[in-house]
Chains A and B, each alone.
Chain A
Amino acid sequence: MDIIGAQLVNGVSYGLLLFVITCGLALVFGILGVLNLAHGSLYMIGAYIAYSVTVNSTENFWIALIIAPIAVALLSLLIETTLLRLTYHLGHLSQVLLTFGLAYVFHDLASMVWGSNVLTVALPPSLSGTTTLFNQNFPTYRLVVIGIGLVLAAALWFIQEKTRWGAIIRAGLCDKEMISALGINIKLVLTIVFIIGGFLAGFGGVIAAPILGLYPSMEFQTLILALVVLVIGGLGSIAGTFAASILIGLVETFSKYLMPELSLFLVFGLMAVILVVKPNGLLGKKVA
């Protein structure tokens, strides 16, 4: 029984880590309709900045948690205003190509700045202990990640559903022209949403770095995982992304435990089944 409980904690923790990584991508795709393939790169830059900030002192992790997301948000501002904005009227394909190109540029820049060695971000002593649950030692940080994921999900849901800002954003998703006719600067709204997406990607990078580590091509691996979560969860739905993250976390953890040979296949198999049964994802809205 203990082992099931322990695996449950593993699954939920991994799932919420996925949510922290993916929510920025889901937000941008849901609201801007832009599939940001550079999301993984923004995540990577957040992680590398966290590495640079903490390399001399682990206590700087808290500083990294503020600096890295802000730096990535500023980078997103630059990308949105100078490049991405020009492609809004060109359709999905150009946005995909643009962000994919950016991903390669960032990949090379990162290897020039930070090299190609495997790096890790060390945690401050207050987070690096272990906690015993179900007769099993867990790194305390894994449990902290559960907390962070839940708080982040609640905050995003609250902002989107219960505030005026959220209402504007949701309205923008439905009809961009109508909302600008109502006197709202839709360009500004789109820029802000993209910046928030970048902020969340950078934040995810810092949170995930101590667990997943930093290494060349990390961003593409992360991007694939994030896309799977996005597809299963459905577009434009924070709740869907949340549900999909937890589902994948649990499926992956338990398949590794019960039938390790199939674990890779099962996650993608699950995605295929959901695409057939519910093409819009678990909780997705209909998209034209």
Chain B
Amino acid sequence: MNKNVLITLITACLLFLGACGNSAIQSTSGTNEKTESSSGGNESIKIGALLPNSGVYASLGKNLNRGMELYFEEINWEVEGKKIEIINEDSEADPQVSLRKTRKLIEQDNIDILTGTVSTAVAYAIRDEVDSKRMPFLVSHAGGNDLTRSKRSDYIWRSSFSSWQIGNSMGEWAYENVGKKIYLTAADYAFGKEVSAAFKEAYTAAGGKIAGEVYPPLENNDYSSYLTTISGSDADAVYAFFAGSDAVRFVQQYEQYGVKEKMPLIGSGWLVSEDLRASQGNASEGTLAATFWDYNLQTDENKKFVTAYEKKYGERPTLESLEGYDAARIIAEAVKSLKGDVSDSKKVVDAFSEVNFQSPRGEFKFDKETHHVIQDMYITKAKLVDGKSENEVIGTVKQVKDPGK
């Protein structure tokens, strides 16, 4: 009796395994056919999207993808009679994994253009591979300064931002509008350090003084000790760079420890970003931030983008959605100017350099020398509207251009 049950179970397992194995084999042969037909006919433009679908950055990757899909849908996934095809690979925000997947995208999938990477470490890791394979790479998020400075490549163009742009744009504005003495705090990792260094440089150049600096570790649980120290200083205001769960905790604890009453909080757009303010609640009220796009930017292009996005996904776009949307547009514009012929990668990047349009974030154009976007930066202030925190654009820093060195 027992033996029979066992045999049945084993048979069931074998059957189950067999079914899985079959479908796996079928699906691989399916993709093989697809690649053959499309590379042979060369009828579609293949875009490799290297974005994180898992791990801490998963939601950023998801929003970048959604932005791209929204734009391509608006143009019916077609440019100059050619189909647009996105091939997604999960970067896992891991440099090693990403390098392997970049090779796979270039060698097996025969992509024409690569886009993506949320993590700067990933962008640095695949830089040489992209450069040596002459693969046009449109960086749609990763903001490390060096990608368009010492690690610049003919084939790498960045449409998002650089740490320098984020930090620098707030420097002079803060000196003139917020206070003459500031306490500096940022998460202790490359991006946080780069942004705060750029802010410090611009702020002190304008005449401001730094009351003190402290760099809590990334993913820090408790800011109470830092806040007590900051609160005891004689600073007029606090500049902070934090993102994700750190930003939620910092902004909340900043209010709870009563520092907000004494010193206004300024920072970058990530401190009070669209996807965090709901969790931060009213604590974000009054926070000033520098960013290159905001949900409440009152331009026709932005209103159109926001309405279309909300209609399709039923939630508000974030900064990353906009980055994906613009990246898709840049690719489409470049392909259009080449009449759909993307076979010469040098011509593709030359076409990138000429792209110029009105984006939801404002006028979009590249700096041909650094391969980095020149853009207006906005100063936003979080206000309470009907009991909910909303950012309002209160200032613009025109045409911020990364120095490229």
Contact = CB atoms under 8 A, between A and B. Distances in A.
A219 B217 CA distance: 18
A18 to B, nearest CB: 9
A215 B220 CA distance: 13
B163 to A, nearest CB: 21
Given A3-B228, A10-B228, A212-B249, A260 B214 contact: yes
A117 B225 CA distance: 26
B69 to A, nearest CB: 19
B248 A118 contact: yes
A122 B59 contact: no
A257 interface: yes
A94 interface: no
A47 to B, nearest CB: 12
A60 interface: no
A117 B221 contact: no
A115 B275 CA distance: 13
Contact of B224 (A115, A142, A218, A264): A142
A166 interface: no
A139 B281 CA distance: 15
Given A117-B275, A142-B224, A256-B225, A136 B257 contact: yes
Interface in A217-264: 217-218, 221, 225, 252-254, 256-257, 260-261, 263-264
B310 interface: no
A138 interface: yes
Nearest to B214: A260
B245 A215 contact: yes
A137 B257 contact: yes
Nearest to B261: A137
Where chain B touches its partner, the secondary structure class is: helix
Contacts of A87: none
Given A116-B58, A120-B248, A10 B279 contact: no
B221 A116 contact: no
B256 A139 contact: yes
Contacts of B217: 263-264
A136 B228 contact: yes
A130 B258 contact: yes
B156 to A, nearest CB: 28
Contacts of A257: 225-226, 228-229
Contact of A212 (B59, B221, B244, B280): B221
Interface residues of B, number: 33
Interface string A119-130: 110100000001
A54 B245 CA distance: 19
Interface in A183-223: 211-213, 215-218, 221
Contact of A260 (B221, B222, B226, B275): B226
Interface string B252-265: 11001110010000
Contact of B222 (A14, A118, A137, A218): A14
A197 to B, nearest CB: 22
B232 A3 contact: yes
A22 interface: no
Contacts of A2: 232
Interface residues of A, number: 41
B258 to A, nearest CB: 3
Contact of B258 (A10, A137, A215): A137
Interface string B123-155: 000000000000000000000000000000000
Interface string A131-168: 00000111100100000000000000000000000000
A190 to B, nearest CB: 29
Contact of A10 (B56, B214, B225): B225
B73 to A, nearest CB: 24
Contacts of A136: 228, 231, 257-258
Contacts of B214: 260
A17 to B, nearest CB: 8
B40 interface: no
B226 A217 contact: no
A10 B55 contact: no
Listed residue (B217, B221, B244, B275) with the most chain A CB atoms within 10 angstroms of its CB: B221
A41 interface: no
A139 B257 contact: yes
Nearest to A129: B256
Interface string A1-25: 0110011001101100100000000
B249 A213 contact: yes
Interface of B: 55-56, 58-59, 214-217, 219, 221-222, 224-226, 228-229, 231-232, 244-245, 248-249, 252-253, 256-258, 261, 275-276, 279-281
Given A10-B222, A10-B228, A118-B244, 15 more contacts: A116-B59, A118-B275, A118-B276, A122-B281, A130-B258, A139-B256, A142-B224, A212-B249, A215-B245, A216-B55, A216-B58, A253-B224, A253-B225, A254-B225, A257-B226
18 contacts: A6-B228, A7-B228, A10-B224, A10-B225, A14-B221, A115-B59, A118-B279, A130-B257, A136-B231, A136-B257, A137-B258, A139-B256, A212-B222, A215-B56, A254-B225, A257-B226, A260-B226, A263-B217
